[in-house]
Amino acid sequence: MITSRQNPKLKLVRALSSRPKERREAGAFLAEGVRLIEEALAVDWPMRFVLYAEGLSMRGLDLLATLKAKGLDVEQVSTDLMQSLSDTETSQGILTVLNESQLSMPAAFDFVLILDSIREPGNLGALLRTACAADMQAILLSPDTTDVFAPKVVRAGMGAHFRLPIRSMSWKEIEKITESADLQTYLADMNGQSCWETDLRRSLALIIGGEAQGASVQARKLAGQQISIPMPGGAESLNAAVAGSILIYEVLRQRSIA
C-alpha cells in the first residue's frame, strides 16, 4: 500500500491534475471514478496504472477485479491520500492515469462541432458528452479553448474522450477541414436566423463560441451563416453547453424527418 505523499505515482497524479503543461509533457491525463474507468476499459484505452482505496462499492470491486485480471498495474493507497488526490469533494476511491491517444478521424464528414474559446471546463465536457450522444463525427477545438484533458472536462465528458475524435487545431487547420469536406459552416449567434427556419440537413460544421466574449473574429470569418435559438421568454442568452446541445439536436431532428 502507498502511504507516502512522495511516491512517484502520486506526484504524477498531482501534476496531471493541475497543469496542462504537465499533461502535454507526460502525454497522459487522469480519469477518476468507476464509470469513467469502465468506459476507458471498454475501448481498451491504454492505462499506465490504477490507484484505489478501501471502501469501494460492489461495482467498484468488480471493476478492480477486472483490472487486476487484465494484468494492469493496480496499487492501493491510503484513504486519506486518495481523498487528497481527488478532484471531487468525495472521492469514489479509484482513479487511473491514461495515455493521451487520438482516435482516427473519419474518412468523410457530414456533422462536425467546432468549439471556439470555451473556457469553462464543465461546459466543454458537457458539449463533448452531447456530441458523443448525437454520434457527431469529430470535435475541433480552437487555440483559445481550455485543455480538453483537464480533470473536470474529462469528468463532465463522461467517456466522450474515449469515443470521439477530438483535435486541438489552429484556425488555418480548421478551415482546411471545412473546405476540403465542403461543410456549410454555421455559427451560433443570438442575431442569426432562427434554427427552426434554417435548413440544417446538408453536411455542416457547427461553431459554438465562448461563454463570456462570444465567438472570436476567426470564427466569424469562417462562418458562412449565423443561426440562433428562439427565446420567447426574453432571456438574453443561453449557457454555451445548453445552446450547443439544442442546436446539435435540431440538426438531428431535421435529418430524421428529411
Strands 47-52 and 94-99: antiparallel
Domain spans in the chain, listed from the N-terminal domain onward: 8-99, 111-256
Indicate the pairing of strand 94-99 with strand 28-32: antiparallel
What is the pLDDT at residue 77? Answer: 95
pLDDT score for 210: 85
Contacts of 240 (CB under 8 A, 6+ apart): 118, 120, 123, 127, 208, 209, 210, 211
Quick: pLDDT tens for 185-215: 999 998 999 999 999 999 999 999 987 777 8
Residue-wise pLDDT tens for the chain (258 aa)? 888 889 999 999 999 998 899 999 999 999 999 999 999 999 999 999 999 999 999 999 999 999 999 999 999 999 999 988 887 777 889 999 999 988 999 999 999 999 999 999 999 999 999 999 999 999 999 999 999 999 999 999 999 999 999 999 999 999 999 999 999 999 999 899 999 999 999 999 999 998 777 789 999 999 999 999 999 887 777 899 999 999 999 999 999 986
CA distances from 96 to 2, 208, 258 (A): 15, 31, 44
How many Å apart are CA 149 and CA 224, to the nearest integer? Answer: 30
Report the C-alpha gap between 11 and 20 in whole angstroms. 15
Cell of 3: 502511504
Our CA angle for 49, 52, 57, nearest 5°, is 130
CATH of 111-256, one of 3.10.200.10, 3.40.190.10, 3.40.1280.10, 2.60.120.560: 3.40.1280.10
Distance CA 258, CA 245 (A): 20
As a whole number of angstroms, the distance between CA 199 and CA 192 comes to 13
* Domain 8-99, classified CATH 3.30.1330.30, yes or no: yes
Among 212, 232, 214, 234, CA closest to 223: 214
Q: Are 187 and 225 in contact (CB under 8 A)?
A: yes
Residue type, 93: G
Expressed in percent and rounded to 5, the helix, strand and coil fractions of the chain are 40, 20, 40
DSSP 194: E
pLDDT score at 12: 95
Q: In the prediction, which pLDDT does 244 show?
A: 96
Q: Which residues pair with 214 in a beta bridge?
A: 210
- Its pTM stands at 0.92
